[in-house]
Amino acid sequence: MRLWVFSLALIAVACAKTKTGRVDPNDDSVMMGTGLESADVEAMAALSKKIISLPELTGPGVDAIPRIAIYPVRNETRFDFDSELLVRNLATELQANANGRVRFVVRNRQDLAVLEEERQKKREGEYTSNKQVTKSGADYYLTGVAQSISSASGKLESDAIWIFFELRDPEAAEVIWADKYLTKKVGRAGVIYR
Amino acid sequence: MIRSLLAVLLLLAACRSGREYVAPRASTAELTYQAILADGSRGVAEEDEALWACELGTAAMMVRREHEAWEAFHMASRTMGTLESTPSESRRAILGAESTKRWKGDPHERCMAAYYKGILYWRRGDLDNAAACFKSGLFADSYSEVGEHQVDFAALSFLLGWVSWIRGQDEQARFSFQEAAQHAPENLLFDDPAPRDHNVLAILEVGQGPRKVRRGAYGSMASYQDIPTSAAAVEIRVDGVSQGVSALATDLFHQATTRGKKTIDGIRKGKAVFKAASTTAGIVMINRGARDDNAGLVLAGAGALLAGALTNASADVRYWTLLPAEIQFLPLRLAPGMHEVDVIVLDQSHRPIPGWKKTFRCRVEERPGQLWWFRMQPGLRVYGLTDRPEGN
């Protein structure tokens, strides 16, 4: 009798319907894997407040509105991700926090090659303002690189992912700000997949 | 009475095993692609979604729908990227049919999903993510048997080396090429790949990938069968001039059969033993109970029989049917401009197989690291991705 009930319950569970629900993007997914998740992208955006408070951008000596070009994050991890999503989210957060004190331009991957050319133009004197802004350029550029250490042993896999951000002055080839975001996740392979 | 009971139990057991997804096959890639798409529109069970997406992605590559292929592999990778399972999923797969679990592929299938996604990223010019996919594929291979067969997917190492060289990461390139050479010592190309001397890398996939079958008591063991093919290598001629013959990088049958033992294999074996024992015990108890007019024993026998009938020991043999048997490479150095490229399939003696060739009109650009992908399919067919995908 018990076996019958158990079997019927099993069949009922197997046939149970699931329902899509709204969740907090900062929450961990039920099946999230060990790569970057929406919660990481959101957490990274918190770095924008630190950037906005830099004296080089919003300090008393700054007389013109500085312009920052934001480039995609270089991916050195084992996870493919939309690096423009990271950048766009960060840019949106920066815009929201800047209140017009800083301007931003989001650049794509192809624009990275333009950077060196722009630097050369600056040296040749093609300035549009006394802040050394080129015709197509910016005063500073924000870029980053994602790196990871991955390991797996038996049923466990772990990934530590660092995303290093840098704000650079292209003219002086100087890093004026750097920070990092670190996340580490450990996944456990289910017994049915081992 | 006993026969009726058995019939009900068998029906119950059959209901619990469900339908196992097998991708439709048609005479051409276009028809196969359309048939797989039609499967999708009719609705694919959640547990088969990743398998369906992998089949769709491969077919989409053959019919030159690169964006659709990328989307399919991206969808598949969301499931295949983690080996976690929910408690209810584990319960169902252990107590019921294993094929009720979400398909995530065997290690070689996870390697191949990453390999295709990497190729598609590379072809659209996203080398960072291409490299990430090749690394991810090599990581998936680490779930193969511990020892010499762990991380021995030479094709992925070679592609990671090549893409790293294009990205200016010479040290990573050197390391990956060494790894490829170590795992495919018979491939002389890997000894000195010299990406700087070539501007096009041709990937050539030949044969049909291994077939996964059940064997053993109650089909409780899964194994792979090699599917023989007459195609052994590929010659590429550009504007009538031979550019050489492709060399083997990865044999998928070898990859599939060196995955090592899995915990679930032991569980299935235990279920098969339990099924056999409880079925035998049930029959013996019912017979003895009927002979001795012992209703309790008959009931106990029916219970044992029920337990045996409900135990599904069958191995999950869902597999990616559109995989090739081998991945081969041939680097090319070509002048920029339009070229007539003949892809000629060769037999074991490296003689052209009559009728198995195709000519492509290809544009070579003035940049390093162009990637061409060709697939030799049964029926003397050759499919290829050569020119840069639209929008890139």
Cβ atoms of B339 and B364 within 8 Å: the answer is: yes
Q: Is B101 close to A35, i.e. CB distance below 8 A?
A: no
Burial grade of B367 (CB within 10 A; 0-12, 13-18, 19 or more): exposed
Tens digit of each residue's pLDDT (9 = 90 or more) over B228-259: 999 999 999 999 999 999 999 999 999 999 87
B388 interfacial to chain A (CB closer than 8 Å): no
Beta bridge partners of residue B300, listed in sequence order: none
Residue of chain A whose alpha carbon sits nearest to that of B140:
A152
Tell me what the mean pLDDT of segment B86-110 comes to.
Answer: 88
Contacts of A92 (CB under 8 A, 6+ apart): A45
Sign for the pseudo-dihedral over CA of A37, A43, A48, A54: negative
Instruction: Give the pLDDT of residue B199.
Output: 94
User: Could you tell me which of B185, B119, B108, B105 has the C-alpha nearest to residue B141?
Assistant: B108
Distance from the A47 Cα atom to the nearest Cα atom in chain B, whole angstroms: 23
Q: Is B88 close to A13, i.e. CB distance below 8 A?
A: yes
Least confident interval from A163-172, A178-187, B40-49, B176-185: A163-172
Distance from the B25 Cα atom to the nearest Cα atom in chain A, whole angstroms: 27
More confident residue, A94 or B323: B323
User: Could you tell me which of B326, B134, B317 has the C-alpha nearest to residue B247?
Assistant: B326
Per-residue confidence band for B147, with pLDDT thresholds at 50, 70 and 90: low
User: Could you tell me which of A141, A143, A193 has the C-alpha nearest to residue A171?
Assistant: A141
Residue of chain A whose alpha carbon sits nearest to that of B310:
A7
B131 interfacial to chain A (CB closer than 8 Å): yes
**Cβ neighbours of A7 in B, within 8 Å:** 12, 306, 310
**Cβ neighbours of A193 in B, within 8 Å:** 83, 85, 101, 104, 264
Contacts of B216 (CB under 8 A, 6+ apart): B269, B272
Question: SS3 helix, strand, coil % of chain B, rounded to 5?
Answer: 50, 20, 30
- Cβ contacts below 8 Å, chain A against chain B, sum to 102
Tell me what the mean pLDDT of segment B294-301 comes to.
Answer: 90
More confident residue, B188 or A119: B188
For B141-145, the CB contacts below 8 A with 24+ separation are B141/B107, B141/B108, B141/B111, B141/B255, B142/A152, B143/A152, B143/A189, B143/B83, B143/B107, B143/B110, B143/B259, B144/B107, B144/B108, B144/B255, B144/B258, B144/B259, B144/B260, B145/B258, B145/B259, B145/B260, B145/B261
Tell me what the mean pLDDT of segment B142-170 comes to.
Answer: 82
B303 interfacial to chain A (CB closer than 8 Å): yes
Residues B160 and B387: their CA atoms lie apart, in Å, by 21
Per-residue confidence band for A126, with pLDDT thresholds at 50, 70 and 90: low
Whether the per-residue pLDDT at A134 is higher than 70: the answer is: no
Whether the per-residue pLDDT at A8 is higher than 50: the answer is: no
**Cβ neighbours of B128 in A, within 8 Å:** 74-76, 83
Residues B68 and B64: their CA atoms lie apart, in Å, by 9
**Cβ neighbours of B90 in A, within 8 Å:** 190-192
SS3 A135: coil
Compare CB distances from A187 to B82, B262, B306 and report the shortest one's residue: B82
Q: Is B85 close to A191, i.e. CB distance below 8 A?
A: yes
Tens digit of each residue's pLDDT (9 = 90 or more) over A74-102: 999 999 998 888 888 888 888 888 888 88
**b/e map B284-293, b = 16+ CB within 10 Å:** ebbeebeeee
Average pLDDT, chain B: 89
User: Could you tell me which of B181, B161, B178, B157 has the C-alpha nearest to residue B170?
Assistant: B161
Cβ atoms of B368 and B361 within 8 Å: the answer is: no
Q: Is B126 close to A109, i.e. CB distance below 8 A?
A: yes
Average pLDDT, chain A: 76
Compare CB distances from B104 to A10, A75, A193 and report the shortest one's residue: A193
Pick from B78, B135, B264 the residue to mutate for testing the A interface (most A CBs within 10 Å): B135
Q: What is the ipTM of this complex?
A: 0.82
Beta bridge partners of residue A168, listed in sequence order: A141, A175
Residue of chain A whose alpha carbon sits nearest to that of B81:
A33
**Cβ neighbours of A79 in B, within 8 Å:** 132, 136
Residue of chain A whose alpha carbon sits nearest to that of B85:
A190
Compare CB distances from A14 to B12, B100, B131 and report the shortest one's residue: B100
B281 interfacial to chain A (CB closer than 8 Å): no
**Cβ neighbours of A109 in B, within 8 Å:** 125-126
Q: Is B129 close to A80, i.e. CB distance below 8 A?
A: yes
B117 interfacial to chain A (CB closer than 8 Å): yes
Secondary structure (DSSP) of A153-176? ETTEEEEEEEEEEEEEETTTTEEE
Residue of chain B whose alpha carbon sits nearest to that of A145:
B128
**Cβ neighbours of A188 in B, within 8 Å:** 84
Whether the per-residue pLDDT at A13 is higher than 80: the answer is: no
Contacts of A157 (CB under 8 A, 6+ apart): A34, A150, A151, A186, A187, A189, B83, B139
Q: Is B143 close to A152, i.e. CB distance below 8 A?
A: yes
